[in-house]
Amino acid sequence: MWLRGISEILVSFIVDSFQRLGRIEEYVKQIENEELFSYKLSVSKLDVIMVLSLGLLITGLFTLS
């Protein structure tokens, strides 16, 4: 009984992944080659604050021990 439930869940995940793959494939067909290979790094203020906070936290943890 529980084996059937697990198999239904696995089949559901597989079907869902194939549907997502189809959507990704359609998206890739719509965009141009230049858009696929160009990348712009965007860093927000929140990203900078998070990295600095993490650095301060790690530094603080090492200085306490």
Q: Residues 9-21: pLDDT tens digits?
A: 888 989 888 888 8
Supply the pLDDT for residue 1.
Answer: 67
d(CA 23, CA 50): 33
- Range(s) of the domain holding residue 60: 2-64
> In which band, very low, low, confident or very high, does the pLDDT at 37 lie, cut at 50, 70 and 90?
confident
38 HSE (CA, 13 A, CB side): 6
C-alpha 24/C-alpha 16 separation (Å) is 12
Task: Output the pLDDT for position 56.
Answer: 93
Cα–Cα distance, 36 to 24 (Å, whole number): 13
Distance CA 14, CA 22 (A): 12
Q: Could you tell me the pTM of the whole model?
A: 0.40
Q: Are 40 and 32 in contact (CB under 8 A)?
A: no
